[in-house]
Protein backbone atom coordinates (compact mmCIF):
# COMPACT_ATOMS: atom_id res chain seq x y z
CA UNK A 1 0.00 0.00 0.00
CA UNK A 2 1.23 3.48 -0.75
CA UNK A 3 0.90 6.42 1.66
CA UNK A 4 -2.29 7.69 0.10
CA UNK A 5 -3.97 4.28 0.57
CA UNK A 6 -2.70 3.80 4.13
CA UNK A 7 -4.05 7.27 4.96
CA UNK A 8 -7.62 6.19 4.19
CA UNK A 9 -7.65 3.57 6.95
CA UNK A 10 -7.61 5.99 9.91
CA UNK A 11 -7.34 9.65 8.97
CA UNK A 12 -10.40 11.92 8.96
CA UNK A 13 -9.63 14.99 6.82
CA UNK A 14 -10.90 18.58 7.17
CA UNK A 15 -13.83 19.83 5.05
CA UNK A 16 -14.12 16.36 3.46
CA UNK A 17 -17.04 14.10 2.59
CA UNK A 18 -15.10 10.84 2.71
CA UNK A 19 -17.73 8.87 0.80
CA UNK A 20 -17.25 10.90 -2.37
CA UNK A 21 -13.73 12.29 -1.88
CA UNK A 22 -10.87 11.21 -4.10
CA UNK A 23 -7.75 9.80 -2.34
CA UNK A 24 -5.55 12.40 -0.66
CA UNK A 25 -2.32 13.28 -2.42
CA UNK A 26 0.61 12.22 -0.23
CA UNK A 27 3.27 14.94 -0.12
CA UNK A 28 6.77 13.87 0.85
CA UNK A 29 8.89 16.99 0.34
CA UNK A 30 8.66 20.76 0.04
CA UNK A 31 11.08 23.48 -0.99
CA UNK A 32 10.34 27.13 -1.75
CA UNK A 33 7.02 27.28 -3.62
CA UNK A 34 7.24 23.62 -4.65
CA UNK A 35 5.89 20.37 -3.21
CA UNK A 36 6.50 16.77 -4.37
CA UNK A 37 4.17 13.80 -3.94
CA UNK A 38 5.07 10.17 -3.22
CA UNK A 39 5.29 9.41 -6.96
CA UNK A 40 7.73 12.25 -7.51
CA UNK A 41 5.18 14.54 -9.19
CA UNK A 42 5.92 18.25 -8.67
CA UNK A 43 3.31 20.84 -7.62
CA UNK A 44 3.41 24.62 -7.34
CA UNK A 45 1.81 25.58 -4.02
CA UNK A 46 -0.16 28.55 -5.41
CA UNK A 47 -2.09 29.11 -2.16
CA UNK A 48 0.83 28.86 0.29
CA UNK A 49 -0.81 25.81 1.92
CA UNK A 50 -3.92 27.67 3.11
CA UNK A 51 -2.11 31.02 3.38
CA UNK A 52 0.41 30.00 6.04
CA UNK A 53 3.67 29.83 4.14
CA UNK A 54 5.06 33.15 2.81
CA UNK A 55 8.78 32.36 3.05
CA UNK A 56 8.79 29.00 1.28
CA UNK A 57 8.60 25.37 2.38
CA UNK A 58 11.39 23.90 4.51
CA UNK A 59 12.87 27.34 5.08
CA UNK A 60 16.36 26.89 6.56
CA UNK A 61 16.43 30.16 8.52
CA UNK A 62 13.24 29.29 10.43
CA UNK A 63 14.26 25.63 10.75
CA UNK A 64 17.59 26.61 12.35
CA UNK A 65 15.83 28.92 14.84
CA UNK A 66 13.44 26.09 15.77
CA UNK A 67 16.26 23.58 16.18
CA UNK A 68 18.23 25.96 18.37
CA UNK A 69 15.18 26.58 20.57
CA UNK A 70 14.28 22.88 20.75
CA UNK A 71 17.72 22.08 22.09
CA UNK A 72 17.69 25.00 24.58
CA UNK A 73 14.15 25.06 25.99
CA UNK A 74 11.44 23.26 24.02
CA UNK A 75 8.52 24.13 26.30
CA UNK A 76 7.62 25.44 29.70
CA UNK A 77 4.18 26.30 31.07
CA UNK A 78 3.20 29.99 30.69
CA UNK A 79 1.09 30.10 33.85
CA UNK A 80 3.39 31.52 36.50
CA UNK A 81 6.42 31.38 34.15
CA UNK A 82 7.79 33.28 31.19
CA UNK A 83 10.75 32.97 28.82
CA UNK A 84 12.95 34.93 26.41
CA UNK A 85 11.21 33.93 23.12
CA UNK A 86 7.76 35.03 24.40
CA UNK A 87 9.14 38.39 25.50
CA UNK A 88 11.06 38.88 22.24
CA UNK A 89 8.06 38.08 20.04
CA UNK A 90 5.97 40.55 22.06
CA UNK A 91 8.60 43.30 21.77
CA UNK A 92 9.05 42.71 18.02
CA UNK A 93 5.35 42.46 17.21
CA UNK A 94 4.53 45.64 19.13
CA UNK A 95 6.97 47.52 16.86
CA UNK A 96 5.07 46.29 13.80
CA UNK A 97 1.45 46.69 14.97
CA UNK A 98 -0.62 49.91 15.13
CA UNK A 99 0.68 51.78 18.18
CA UNK A 100 -2.53 51.50 20.20
CA UNK A 101 -1.92 47.74 20.62
CA UNK A 102 -0.34 47.31 24.05
CA UNK A 103 -0.96 43.75 25.31
CA UNK A 104 -0.94 40.32 23.72
CA UNK A 105 -2.29 36.86 24.51
CA UNK A 106 -0.86 33.66 22.97
CA UNK A 107 -2.86 30.68 21.71
CA UNK A 108 -2.62 27.93 19.10
CA UNK A 109 -4.62 28.75 15.95
CA UNK A 110 -6.74 31.35 14.21
CA UNK A 111 -10.01 30.12 15.72
CA UNK A 112 -8.70 30.36 19.29
CA UNK A 113 -7.31 33.84 18.55
CA UNK A 114 -10.87 34.83 17.59
CA UNK A 115 -12.46 33.02 20.58
CA UNK A 116 -10.22 35.02 22.90
CA UNK A 117 -11.06 38.34 21.23
CA UNK A 118 -14.79 37.65 21.49
CA UNK A 119 -14.54 36.48 25.10
CA UNK A 120 -12.55 39.60 26.02
CA UNK A 121 -15.14 41.88 24.39
CA UNK A 122 -18.02 40.16 26.23
CA UNK A 123 -16.26 39.92 29.61
CA UNK A 124 -15.07 43.53 29.46
CA UNK A 125 -18.68 44.70 29.67
CA UNK A 126 -19.62 41.94 32.14
CA UNK A 127 -16.83 43.14 34.43
CA UNK A 128 -18.25 46.67 34.20
CA UNK A 129 -21.75 45.42 35.03
CA UNK A 130 -23.04 46.42 31.61
CA UNK A 131 -25.25 44.07 29.58
CA UNK A 132 -23.75 43.76 26.09
CA UNK A 133 -23.96 40.15 24.92
CA UNK A 134 -24.04 40.23 21.12
CA UNK A 135 -21.45 40.59 18.36
CA UNK A 136 -21.64 42.19 14.91
CA UNK A 137 -19.98 40.57 11.87
CA UNK A 138 -20.02 40.82 8.08
CA UNK A 139 -22.06 38.63 5.78
CA UNK A 140 -20.00 35.74 4.36
CA UNK A 141 -17.31 36.26 6.99
CA UNK A 142 -14.97 33.47 8.02
CA UNK A 143 -13.44 33.55 11.48
CA UNK A 144 -12.77 29.86 12.21
CA UNK A 145 -14.49 26.64 13.23
CA UNK A 146 -14.67 26.62 17.05
CA UNK A 147 -17.97 27.76 18.57
CA UNK A 148 -17.66 31.52 18.98
CA UNK A 149 -15.53 31.79 15.83
CA UNK A 150 -18.12 29.72 13.97
CA UNK A 151 -20.93 31.93 15.28
CA UNK A 152 -19.11 34.92 13.83
CA UNK A 153 -18.67 33.14 10.49
CA UNK A 154 -21.35 33.78 7.92
CA UNK A 155 -20.67 31.07 5.36
CA UNK A 156 -23.69 28.84 6.07
CA UNK A 157 -21.93 25.81 4.57
CA UNK A 158 -19.72 25.64 7.66
CA UNK A 159 -22.24 26.51 10.38
CA UNK A 160 -25.74 25.31 9.37
CA UNK A 161 -25.76 22.21 11.64
CA UNK A 162 -25.10 24.26 14.80
CA UNK A 163 -27.51 27.15 14.29
CA UNK A 164 -29.41 26.74 17.58
CA UNK A 165 -26.30 26.51 19.76
CA UNK A 166 -24.43 29.65 18.78
CA UNK A 167 -23.64 33.01 20.35
CA UNK A 168 -25.88 35.75 18.97
CA UNK A 169 -24.17 37.41 16.01
CA UNK A 170 -25.96 39.90 13.75
CA UNK A 171 -24.62 40.48 10.23
CA UNK A 172 -24.22 43.59 8.14
CA UNK A 173 -23.45 43.81 4.40
CA UNK A 174 -19.80 44.07 3.32
CA UNK A 175 -19.12 47.62 2.03
CA UNK A 176 -18.10 46.50 -1.45
CA UNK A 177 -18.70 49.06 -4.24
CA UNK A 178 -22.40 50.11 -4.34
CA UNK A 179 -23.14 48.49 -0.93
CA UNK A 180 -21.32 51.10 1.21
CA UNK A 181 -24.46 52.93 2.33
CA UNK A 182 -26.34 49.69 3.15
CA UNK A 183 -23.44 48.56 5.28
CA UNK A 184 -23.14 51.84 7.17
CA UNK A 185 -26.87 52.19 7.79
CA UNK A 186 -27.20 48.58 8.99
CA UNK A 187 -24.36 49.09 11.46
CA UNK A 188 -25.78 52.39 12.71
CA UNK A 189 -29.17 50.76 13.35
CA UNK A 190 -27.59 47.94 15.38
CA UNK A 191 -25.29 50.17 17.41
CA UNK A 192 -28.20 52.30 18.64
CA UNK A 193 -29.55 49.27 20.58
CA UNK A 194 -26.51 49.23 22.94
CA UNK A 195 -26.66 45.40 22.95
CA UNK A 196 -23.34 44.80 21.19
CA UNK A 197 -19.90 44.24 22.68
CA UNK A 198 -17.85 43.99 19.49
CA UNK A 199 -17.67 44.18 15.71
CA UNK A 200 -15.42 41.54 14.13
CA UNK A 201 -14.24 41.75 10.52
CA UNK A 202 -11.60 40.55 8.09
CA UNK A 203 -9.98 43.89 7.18
CA UNK A 204 -10.07 44.70 3.43
CA UNK A 205 -10.11 41.07 2.21
CA UNK A 206 -12.56 38.28 3.09
CA UNK A 207 -10.39 35.25 2.42
CA UNK A 208 -12.66 32.23 2.63
CA UNK A 209 -15.48 34.08 0.85
CA UNK A 210 -13.21 34.11 -2.22
CA UNK A 211 -10.89 37.07 -1.60
CA UNK A 212 -13.77 39.57 -1.58
CA UNK A 213 -12.26 43.06 -1.28
CA UNK A 214 -13.52 46.44 -0.04
CA UNK A 215 -11.99 49.87 0.46
CA UNK A 216 -10.08 51.05 3.57
CA UNK A 217 -12.09 54.31 3.66
CA UNK A 218 -15.33 52.34 4.07
CA UNK A 219 -13.93 50.25 6.92
CA UNK A 220 -12.64 53.44 8.56
CA UNK A 221 -16.19 54.83 8.59
CA UNK A 222 -17.61 51.67 10.18
CA UNK A 223 -14.85 51.58 12.81
CA UNK A 224 -15.34 55.26 13.67
CA UNK A 225 -19.04 54.58 14.17
CA UNK A 226 -18.25 51.69 16.54
CA UNK A 227 -15.88 53.88 18.51
CA UNK A 228 -18.62 56.49 18.92
CA UNK A 229 -20.92 53.82 20.39
CA UNK A 230 -18.21 52.19 22.58
CA UNK A 231 -18.31 48.91 20.65
CA UNK A 232 -14.90 47.21 20.34
CA UNK A 233 -13.51 46.65 16.84
CA UNK A 234 -11.80 43.29 16.25
CA UNK A 235 -9.57 43.04 13.16
CA UNK A 236 -9.22 39.37 12.27
CA UNK A 237 -5.89 39.49 10.39
CA UNK A 238 -5.38 35.73 10.55
CA UNK A 239 -5.31 35.63 6.74
CA UNK A 240 -4.25 39.20 5.85
CA UNK A 241 -1.41 39.57 8.37
CA UNK A 242 2.34 39.59 7.72
CA UNK A 243 2.59 41.11 4.25
CA UNK A 244 -0.20 39.49 2.22
CA UNK A 245 -1.88 42.80 1.38
CA UNK A 246 1.40 44.51 0.45
CA UNK A 247 1.76 46.11 3.90
CA UNK A 248 2.62 44.28 7.13
CA UNK A 249 -1.06 44.31 8.14
CA UNK A 250 -4.26 45.24 6.33
CA UNK A 251 -4.90 47.67 9.21
CA UNK A 252 -1.87 49.66 8.02
CA UNK A 253 -4.12 50.95 5.20
CA UNK A 254 -6.54 52.43 7.75
CA UNK A 255 -6.75 55.74 9.60
CA UNK A 256 -8.75 54.19 12.47
CA UNK A 257 -7.03 51.66 14.73
CA UNK A 258 -8.73 48.45 15.85
CA UNK A 259 -9.17 47.64 19.56
CA UNK A 260 -8.10 44.03 19.04
CA UNK A 261 -6.21 42.09 16.38
CA UNK A 262 -6.15 38.33 15.70
CA UNK A 263 -3.01 36.82 14.17
CA UNK A 264 -2.02 33.30 13.15
CA UNK A 265 -1.40 31.48 9.82
CA UNK A 266 1.80 33.21 8.53
CA UNK A 267 2.88 34.13 12.09
CA UNK A 268 5.34 31.23 12.22
CA UNK A 269 5.97 31.03 8.47
CA UNK A 270 3.82 27.91 8.22
CA UNK A 271 5.93 25.83 10.61
CA UNK A 272 4.39 25.56 14.09
CA UNK A 273 0.73 26.15 15.07
CA UNK A 274 0.54 29.41 16.99
CA UNK A 275 -1.70 32.45 17.32
CA UNK A 276 -1.75 35.81 19.05
CA UNK A 277 -4.59 38.14 20.02
CA UNK A 278 -3.57 41.73 20.76
CA UNK A 279 -5.37 44.43 22.79
CA UNK A 280 -5.42 48.10 23.72
CA UNK A 281 -4.47 49.15 27.23
CA UNK A 282 -8.13 50.03 27.87
CA UNK A 283 -9.20 46.42 27.29
CA UNK A 284 -6.45 45.08 29.55
CA UNK A 285 -7.47 47.47 32.29
CA UNK A 286 -11.04 46.18 32.12
CA UNK A 287 -9.69 42.97 33.68
CA UNK A 288 -7.08 44.55 36.01
CA UNK A 289 -8.58 44.47 39.49
CA UNK A 290 -8.16 43.29 43.07
CA UNK A 291 -11.07 40.95 42.38
CA UNK A 292 -9.73 37.66 40.97
CA UNK A 293 -13.09 37.01 39.28
CA UNK A 294 -12.41 39.87 36.88
CA UNK A 295 -9.37 38.09 35.39
CA UNK A 296 -9.46 36.44 31.97
CA UNK A 297 -9.81 32.75 32.84
CA UNK A 298 -8.61 31.47 29.52
CA UNK A 299 -5.53 29.50 28.59
CA UNK A 300 -4.24 26.62 26.53
CA UNK A 301 -1.66 24.04 27.58
CA UNK A 302 0.76 25.14 24.87
CA UNK A 303 0.22 28.89 25.38
CA UNK A 304 3.37 30.78 24.23
CA UNK A 305 5.25 27.57 23.41
CA UNK A 306 8.92 28.67 23.19
CA UNK A 307 9.55 26.72 19.96
CA UNK A 308 6.56 28.39 18.30
CA UNK A 309 7.81 31.76 19.54
CA UNK A 310 11.27 31.11 18.07
CA UNK A 311 9.62 30.30 14.74
CA UNK A 312 7.52 33.49 14.94
CA UNK A 313 10.57 35.61 15.70
CA UNK A 314 12.55 34.18 12.77
CA UNK A 315 9.50 34.67 10.51
CA UNK A 316 9.15 38.33 11.47
CA UNK A 317 12.86 38.83 10.77
CA UNK A 318 12.30 37.41 7.29
CA UNK A 319 9.23 39.63 6.76
CA UNK A 320 11.33 42.70 7.55
CA UNK A 321 14.21 41.73 5.24
CA UNK A 322 14.76 43.70 2.03
CA UNK A 323 14.63 40.50 -0.01
CA UNK A 324 11.14 39.66 1.23
CA UNK A 325 9.85 43.22 0.76
CA UNK A 326 11.10 43.08 -2.83
CA UNK A 327 9.46 39.68 -3.31
CA UNK A 328 6.09 41.02 -2.17
CA UNK A 329 6.36 43.96 -4.59
CA UNK A 330 7.49 41.69 -7.42
CA UNK A 331 4.55 39.28 -6.98
CA UNK A 332 2.17 42.24 -6.81
CA UNK A 333 3.57 43.68 -10.07
CA UNK A 334 3.20 40.32 -11.82
CA UNK A 335 -0.40 40.02 -10.59
CA UNK A 336 -1.23 43.50 -11.90
CA UNK A 337 0.28 42.71 -15.29
CA UNK A 338 -1.69 39.44 -15.47
CA UNK A 339 -4.85 41.30 -14.48
CA UNK A 340 -4.35 43.61 -17.49
CA UNK A 341 -3.84 40.61 -19.72
CA UNK A 342 -6.88 38.61 -18.55
CA UNK A 343 -9.59 41.07 -17.52
CA UNK A 344 -11.21 41.38 -20.95
CA UNK A 345 -11.36 37.62 -21.52
CA UNK A 346 -14.98 36.70 -22.42
CA UNK A 347 -15.24 34.22 -19.52
CA UNK A 348 -13.93 36.60 -16.86
CA UNK A 349 -16.55 38.37 -14.73
CA UNK A 350 -14.20 40.35 -12.46
CA UNK A 351 -10.61 40.37 -11.19
CA UNK A 352 -9.14 41.73 -7.95
CA UNK A 353 -5.58 42.35 -6.77
CA UNK A 354 -4.19 43.46 -3.41
CA UNK A 355 -0.59 42.74 -2.43
CA UNK A 356 0.21 39.12 -3.29
CA UNK A 357 -3.50 38.23 -3.57
CA UNK A 358 -5.04 37.77 -7.03
CA UNK A 359 -8.67 36.68 -7.50
CA UNK A 360 -10.68 36.01 -10.64
CA UNK A 361 -14.42 35.34 -10.90
CA UNK A 362 -15.42 33.13 -13.80
CA UNK A 363 -18.71 33.89 -15.57
CA UNK A 364 -21.22 31.13 -14.82
CA UNK A 365 -25.00 30.84 -14.64
CA UNK A 366 -24.76 31.90 -10.99
CA UNK A 367 -25.62 28.56 -9.39
CA UNK A 368 -22.11 27.54 -8.37
CA UNK A 369 -21.97 26.34 -4.77
CA UNK A 370 -18.94 26.61 -2.51
CA UNK A 371 -17.85 23.00 -2.97
CA UNK A 372 -19.91 22.30 -6.12
CA UNK A 373 -19.23 20.34 -9.32
CA UNK A 374 -17.72 23.25 -11.30
CA UNK A 375 -15.35 24.02 -8.45
CA UNK A 376 -14.25 20.37 -8.33
CA UNK A 377 -13.66 20.35 -12.07
CA UNK A 378 -11.42 23.42 -11.78
CA UNK A 379 -9.59 21.98 -8.77
CA UNK A 380 -8.84 18.71 -10.59
CA UNK A 381 -7.80 20.56 -13.75
CA UNK A 382 -5.15 22.49 -11.80
CA UNK A 383 -3.99 19.43 -9.84
CA UNK A 384 -3.56 17.57 -13.14
CA UNK A 385 -1.28 20.38 -14.32
CA UNK A 386 0.77 20.30 -11.10
CA UNK A 387 -0.71 23.43 -9.50
CA UNK A 388 -2.40 23.55 -6.10
CA UNK A 389 -5.32 25.97 -6.19
CA UNK A 390 -8.55 25.67 -4.20
CA UNK A 391 -11.27 27.58 -6.06
CA UNK A 392 -14.32 28.62 -4.03
CA UNK A 393 -17.41 28.26 -6.20
CA UNK A 394 -16.58 30.11 -9.43
CA UNK A 395 -13.74 32.14 -7.86
CA UNK A 396 -10.12 31.16 -8.44
CA UNK A 397 -7.54 32.93 -6.34
CA UNK A 398 -3.75 32.86 -6.19
CA UNK A 399 -1.91 33.61 -2.93
CA UNK A 400 1.57 32.15 -3.38
CA UNK A 401 4.59 32.09 -1.09
CA UNK A 402 6.41 35.43 -1.55
CA UNK A 403 9.50 33.51 -2.70
CA UNK A 404 7.72 32.06 -5.78
CA UNK A 405 9.74 32.63 -8.96
CA UNK A 406 8.50 34.64 -11.95
CA UNK A 407 8.56 31.46 -14.05
CA UNK A 408 6.41 29.60 -11.53
CA UNK A 409 3.96 32.51 -11.42
CA UNK A 410 3.78 32.54 -15.21
CA UNK A 411 2.96 28.82 -15.22
CA UNK A 412 0.06 29.49 -12.83
CA UNK A 413 -1.24 32.35 -15.03
CA UNK A 414 -1.01 30.28 -18.22
CA UNK A 415 -2.78 27.34 -16.62
CA UNK A 416 -5.51 29.70 -15.42
CA UNK A 417 -5.96 30.93 -18.99
CA UNK A 418 -6.19 27.34 -20.20
CA UNK A 419 -8.78 26.58 -17.50
CA UNK A 420 -10.99 29.40 -18.80
CA UNK A 421 -11.16 27.67 -22.19
CA UNK A 422 -11.21 24.05 -21.09
CA UNK A 423 -13.41 23.96 -17.96
Binding residues for pyridoxal 5'-phosphate: 110-111, 236, 300-301
Nearer to ligand PLP, 51 or 402 (CB): 51
| Burial of 250 from C-beta contacts in 10 A (0-12 / 13-18 / 19+) | buried
Among 45, 115, 202, 361, binds ligand PLP (CB under 6 A): 202
What's the CA gap between 202 and 265, in Å, rounded?
14
Q: What's the CA gap between 409 and 102, in Å, rounded?
A: 39
Strand partners, 392: 395
C-alpha dist (Å) from residue 320 to 42, 65, 389 = 30, 16, 27
Query: In the complex, what is the shortest distance from the CB of residue 144 to ligand PLP, in angstroms, rounded to a whole number?
Result: 3
Of residues 204-223, those binding ligand PLP (CB under 6 A): 207-208
# residues contacting ligand PLP (CB under 6 A) = 14
- By CB under 6 A, residue 375 contacts ligand PLP: no
Q: Which of 30, 54, 98, 110 binds ligand PLP (CB under 6 A)?
A: 110
Least Å distance between CB 208 and ligand PLP? Answer: 6
Q: How far is the CB of 300 from ligand PLP (least distance, A)?
A: 13
Beta bridge partners of 30: 35
- Report the b/e string of 136-175 with b at 16+ CB within 10 A: bbbbbbbbbbebbbbbbbbbeebbeeeeeeeeebbbbbbb
Q: Which residues are annotated as a binding site for substrate?
A: 50, 265, 299, 390
59 contacts ligand PLP (rule: CB under 6 A): no
What 3-state class would DSSP assign to 366?
coil
Stretch that binds ligand PLP, among 127-135, 139-147, 279-287, 316-324 (CB under 6 A): 139-147
Exactly one of 69, 101, 111, 334 binds ligand PLP (CB under 6 A); which one?
A: 111
Residue nearest to ligand PLP (CB): 110
Residue closer to ligand PLP, measured from CB, 54 or 286 = 54
Under rule CB under 6 A, residue 30 binds ligand PLP: no
Beta bridge partners of 134: 196
By beta-carbon proximity to ligand PLP, the closer residue of 140 and 334 is 140
- Residue spans of beta strands (DSSP E) within 7-116: 27-31, 34-37, 42-45, 103-107
- Does 180 bind ligand PLP (CB under 6 A)? Our answer is no
Counting beta carbons within 10 angstroms of the beta carbon of residue 287, is it exposed (0 to 12), middle (13 to 18) or buried (19 or more)? middle
Shortest Å distance, C-beta 273 to ligand PLP:
7
* CA–CA gap between residue 280 and residue 261 (Å, rounded): 10
Q: Where along the sequence are the contacts to ligand PLP (CB under 6 A)?
A: 109-111, 114, 142-144, 202, 207-208, 236, 238-239, 264
Amino acid sequence: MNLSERDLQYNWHPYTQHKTAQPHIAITKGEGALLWDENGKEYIDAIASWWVNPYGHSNRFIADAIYKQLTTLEHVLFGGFTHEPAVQVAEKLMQLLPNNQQKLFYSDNGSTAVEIAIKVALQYFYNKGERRTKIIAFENAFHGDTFAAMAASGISFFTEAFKGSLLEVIRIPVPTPSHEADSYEALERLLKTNEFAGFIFEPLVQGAAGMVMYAPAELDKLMALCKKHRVFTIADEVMTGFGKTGKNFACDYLTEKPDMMCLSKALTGGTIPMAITTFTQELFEGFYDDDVNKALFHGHTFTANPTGCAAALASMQLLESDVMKQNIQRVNKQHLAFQQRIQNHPRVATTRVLGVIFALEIKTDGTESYYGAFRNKLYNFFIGKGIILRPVGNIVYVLPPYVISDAQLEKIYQTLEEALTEC
